[in-house]
Amino acid sequence: MTSPLLSWSIVAAATAGVITRPFKWPEAVWAVSGAILLVSLRLLPVELAFKAVGEGMDVYLFLVGMMLLSEVGRREGLFDWVAGIAVNRSRGSPRKLFLLVYLVGIVITAFLSNDAAAVVLTPAVFAAAKKAKMPPLPLLFICAFIANAASFALPISNPANLVLYGNHTPALSKWLMRFALPSALSIGATYALLRWTQRDALAGVCEADLEPPKLSVSGRVALAGLGVTALALLTVSAFDIRLGLPTAILGVLTATVVLTQERQSPLPMIRGMSWSVLPLVAALFVLVEALAHTGVITALARLLQRMTQQGLLATAASAGGIVAIASNLTNNLPAGLIASQTVVQAHIPERVIDALLIGVDLGPNLSITGSLATILWLNAIRREGEDVRFLTFLKVGAVVMLPTLVLALLARICVGPVANS
């Protein structure tokens, strides 16, 4: 077997392990094993592997910051407080509670990122379902689906947006011109279709008129930390500053203030975080580097250039659809990295790049391992004693994602601005 073919086989096997989780081993085990095997067999030079790991530093910092904020909120009762308010506002209607959770999910995804929606919103939603005495899965599905459906509302709504555009992220006004309609359609269609798939589980009534929980001083600190983080992310993104370090700093500061107030050790908080996601992300960066090392990305760039010359609109539509499906086969983090490197080499029009972004962001709503946000969501619900099988998610995802993707792509390709296209 030739070296490129062997590299591709290892990458494919590692990716399949992440998706299917044989023996129920964590996703990180399979991705890290693939990365180590590539280096051990000298299919990828050690220096390139370390370079790939280093390229993910901003993502690692961002995730650490968000996980800290989430853990502080969980420990200090912030999510129980939010859940109590949501349940009382629902007035005994599971359908209204579903809508309230969805609206909160839009705000968190837009202003704190899709990963935050998975990490921060999921514990609150589980608490709300428990207080409302209703099956948690219909509400938990919201955390996964809105995290991807609203992830191109703003540039900061998904770190993958900044990865794909690199140092050329459109200004906020231009971003809204290009993505406001596709994002609105994505959010609206996802709500309607997801609500339809859960219609039986949302029938009847749920608990209401609970005694409003009181938010402790530390809980207010956690809430303030989330609010300040949202404002900070909006600010730094406007200046094309990476999001990871500010998020990590604010997460550490929030945790430090709370721990100092309560005179507690940080060890229980640190142990409560899902650290396995960090080696998973690092390994995915290495797997993508292996593909680049074998010339796959160069070949993709040439193919995309030829397709664009033959027809811009058809290329944009097909590119968005292909990368959406590919995101579910490889996870959208490597798919986004591959798309980013392909775009740099191909020098393609903005309409095609925008279609790729929609595919990378929205496509993962098809399967349970399509995006890093959904994997974070899985870790969060497993911690609460819940789990979702691959086929269970796929049945819902096929109904929700495919029509929504078509609507969003058509809105950008056929209706969006044509400038520089």
**pLDDT digit of tens for each residue in the chain (421 aa)?**
557 888 888 888 887 787 777 877 888 899 999 999 999 999 999 999 999 999 888 888 988 988 898 888 878 888 778 777 887 888 889 999 999 989 988 988 888 788 878 877 888 888 888 888 888 999 999 999 999 999 999 888 887 787 777 656 677 778 888 999 999 999 999 999 999 999 998 988 887 776 767 888 888 998 899 889 888 888 887 777 777 899 899 999 999 999 998 888 888 888 878 788 899 889 988 988 898 888 888 888 888 888 888 888 889 899 999 999 988 887 787 788 888 888 878 788 888 999 999 999 999 999 988 888 888 898 888 888 888 888 899 999 999 999 999 999 999 988 766 544 4
Q: Is 241 part of a structural domain of the chain?
A: yes
DSSP codes, 235-288: HHHHTT--SHHHHHHHHHHHHHHHHHHHT--SHHHHHTS-TTHHHHHHHHHHHH
Tell me which residue range forms the domain holding 298: 3-415
DSSP codes, 127-187: HHHHHHTS-SHHHHHHHHHHHHHTTTSSGGG-HHHHHHHGGGPPPHHHHHHHHHHHHHHHH
Q: Please indicate, yes or no, whether the overall pTM of this predicted structure exceeds 0.75.
A: yes
Q: Is 135 part of a structural domain of the chain?
A: yes
Closest to 135 measured CA to CA, from 207, 210, 70: 207
| Signed CA dihedral, 330, 334, 335, 341: sign only | negative
Cβ atoms < 10 Å from Cβ of 69: 26
- Please give the structure tokens belonging to residue 263: 């005179």
Q: How far apart are CA 242 and CA 239, in angstroms?
A: 9
139 within 8 A of 89, measured Cβ to Cβ: no
Radius of gyration of the chain (CA): 21
52 within 8 A of 293, measured Cβ to Cβ: no
Q: Is 420 part of a structural domain of the chain?
A: no
Q: Is 421 part of a structural domain of the chain?
A: no
Which residues have CB under 8 Å from 342's CB, separation 6+?
297, 300, 301, 304
Q: Is 149 part of a structural domain of the chain?
A: yes
Q: Is 352 part of a structural domain of the chain?
A: yes
Q: How far apart are CA 407 and CA 192, in angstroms?
A: 13
Number of domains present in the structure of the chain: 1
CA–CA distances in Å: residue 70 to residues 245, 251, 259: 17, 9, 14
DSSP codes, 359-420: HHHHGGGGSTTSSHHHHHHHHHHHHTT----HHHHHHHHHHHHHHHHHHHHHIIIIIS--TT
Closest to 118 measured CA to CA, from 277, 241, 335: 277
Res 421: pLDDT? 43
Torsion angle of the four alpha carbons 225, 60, 165, 397, in this order, in degrees rounded to the nearest 10: -90
Q: Is 73 part of a structural domain of the chain?
A: yes
155 within 8 A of 164, measured Cβ to Cβ: no
Q: Is 47 part of a structural domain of the chain?
A: yes
Res 90: pLDDT? 84
Strand stretches in 44-137, DSSP E: none
